[in-house]
Structure 1
Amino acid sequence: MSADFWAGYVSGAAGIIIGNPLDLIKTRLQAGKTAPNVESTSTAAPTPQGFRGNFENAGSLVRGATAPILTYGALNALLFVTYNRTLALLSSQSLHQPSTSPTNFGHVFLAGATGGLASFIVSAPTELIKCRAQVSTDIHTTSWTIARDVWRTEGIRGLYYGGGITSVRDAVGYGFYFWSYEWTKQAWSSPDDTDRETAMKVLLCGGLAGVITWASIFPLDVIKTRVQTQVLHSMPREGEQSVLLQPEYQKRRLSSIEVAKLAYRTEGAGVFFRGLGICSVRAFVVNAVQWAVYEWMMKLLQPQ
């Protein structure tokens, strides 16, 4: 395997481990989930839970982390390999010199978008399993039980439910991701930088790239989350109500456009930015670490 594959794999796994608790809060805020075990037919907007309300117990801190930890490393590896190969093809750059700074930022954006589309193969089922696990308050619900039940009832098609909106989100998001990182890194770098200064700038540029990326696609991510969490992986027990959108709409699944229209009509435009604050904090921390780990491993693994 190439250096960028392993660098992407390890950095992706590290980012998930660090960012899962904040990602859980972000997902639950986006889903607009009603309180569990409460019967309701009201069309009023659900009230987001507070910070503490998003954790039922200590296990909630890692709820939904299994699927991303196992797969996000592969996703990140696929992303970086596709990005580097596409950028090399567009720029006539040698694949053996991936550390060379690109000069055409249009090519950077296009290569990033291509990498995002490629990563959809892994990200769509991973996001579906992760989001459903995160919004569930049943302590017996795990990533494995969700994946198993979806596979049994709907097959591979069920694992890719919401794949269309996921692919659009990934293409746009990763285009901005690589573009913003390369632009800020080149703008702030200097030949006189010490190793310490270079490391600090990588952390800062990586963090800002994460924030810029999520700000650019957050409404799409809200819609994706609601599309994928319209139903839980199993039927509710007697006396329970496991609804993630308004109860009267649970008889059939809504399309991305229908989800967006319903959310706007019942909760206003602000719903498309619910959770952006906590997401930005998470994005800065996670992507600062991811880029630092990626750059470090590339230097370690790449032949001089």
Structure 2
Amino acid sequence: MSADFWAGYLSGAAGILIGNPLDLVKTRIQAGKTVPTPDSAIAIPSPQSFKEHFDRAGTLVRGTTAPVLGYGALNAILFVTYNRTLALLHDSPAVPTSLSKVWLAGAAGGLATFVISAPTELIKCRAQVSSDHYTSSFTIARDIWKREGIRGLYYGGGITSVRDAVGYGFYFWSYEWSKQAFSSPDDTDRQTALKVLFCGGLAGVVTWASIFPLDVIKTRVQTQLLHPPSPAEAEQHPLLPSHRHRKRLSTFEIAREAYRAEGASAFFRGLGICSVRAFVVNAVQWAVYEWMMRLLQQA
């Protein structure tokens, strides 16, 4: 396979391994604690301590399996599609001259990742918010497949694809803009490496800042829980449908309910920890990608 495929795959896997602990905190903050109610599937956020997020050693890697396997492939598809799209737009992936074409190519790459991104995000988020320490990514995927088939694995796929297209457009745009702004022909290898780290980290922060409300909604859509009736409710209404038949809330209903209950701040919950994670993860990802590209092209 092409150099950009393997460079993208390895950089994606490296980013997940480094960023998973902070990603777990971000997901739990976004999803919040779920309070059972008779007519709502919304997870109602409440303050949680650091100890609650890392309740045991295994929590640090909770939900890692699906992203490592899936996000490596996702990143490979992303970079291959980005490079090919930019070439089709008559620009050079190595040294692009048009930032608008860079954004379009990045958005195309984001859309192309949908086939992997949607199920990977669903499994990851559900594993990370699960209170069952014995629940793994595999058991979650198996249970979804048994209950709902392949359609269940793509639950929340619409909002995921929009988030990815917009986010990756800004991702590549901000990386190329900052690299062109800060790079100099006189840079030493050390200076170039440091600037790649900085530009990659900056691209991650810009990307997440641009799509964070969409990501909050996506997380709540994918982690909403359908609760069984309370004992009192079941006694008063013996014919009430079980939780399996309760209607899931749509993306718009989730967003409307979040705004009604918490205001605009609900859509930026967890942005701080996400920005820290984004800088670290994407600095590493771009450094690994650039290094692997040079290494594989020389081979």
TM-score normalised per structure 2: 0.90
Q: 1:207 aligns with which of 190, 201, 204?
A: 201
Q: Is residue 165 of structure 1 aligned with residue 164 of structure 2?
A: no
Answer whether contact 1:116 1:167 (CA < 8 A) is retained. Answer: yes
Counterpart code for 2:125: C
Q: CA distance change for structure 1 residues 42 and 159 in 2, over 3 Å: closer, same or farther? A: closer
Q: 1:263 aligns with which of 258, 264, 269?
A: 258
Answer whether contact 2:29 2:45 (CA < 8 A) is retained. Answer: no
Q: Is residue 123 of structure 1 aligned with residue 117 of structure 2?
A: yes
Alignment of 1:1-304 (within 5 A): 1-34=1-34, 45-91=44-90, 93=92, 98=93, 100-231=94-225, 251-303=246-298
Q: How many residues align?
A: 284
Structure 2: distance between partners of 1:51 and 1:227: 24
Q: CA deviation at 1:92?
A: 5.1
Identity %: 75
Q: CA deviation at 1:40?
A: 6.0
Structure 2: distance between partners of 1:221 and 1:281: 16
Structure 2 runs not aligned, ≥5 long:
232-242
Q: CA deviation at 1:56?
A: 1.6
SS at match of 1:294: helix
Answer whether contact 1:112 1:176 (CA < 8 A) is retained. Answer: yes
Structure 1: distance between partners of 2:45 and 2:198: 36
Counterpart code for 1:263: A
Counterpart code for 1:86: T
TM-score normalised per structure 1: 0.89
Answer whether contact 2:123 2:141 (CA < 8 A) is retained. Answer: yes
Q: CA deviation at 1:34?
A: 3.1
Structure 1: distance between partners of 2:39 and 2:110: 38
Structure 1 runs not aligned, ≥5 long:
240-247
**CA deviation string 1:74-96 (max 9, x = no partner):** 00000000000000110254xxx
**CA deviation string 1:147-193 (max 9, x = no partner):** 00000010000000000000000000000000000000011000000
Q: CA deviation at 1:45?
A: 4.8
C-alpha root-mean-square deviation of aligned residues, in Å? 2.1
Counterpart code for 1:84: N
Q: CA distance change for structure 1 residues 183 and 128 in 2, over 3 Å: closer, same or farther? A: same
Counterpart code for 1:229: T
SS at match of 1:24: helix
SS at match of 2:134: coil
Structure 2: distance between partners of 1:257 and 1:86: 32
Counterpart code for 1:296: W
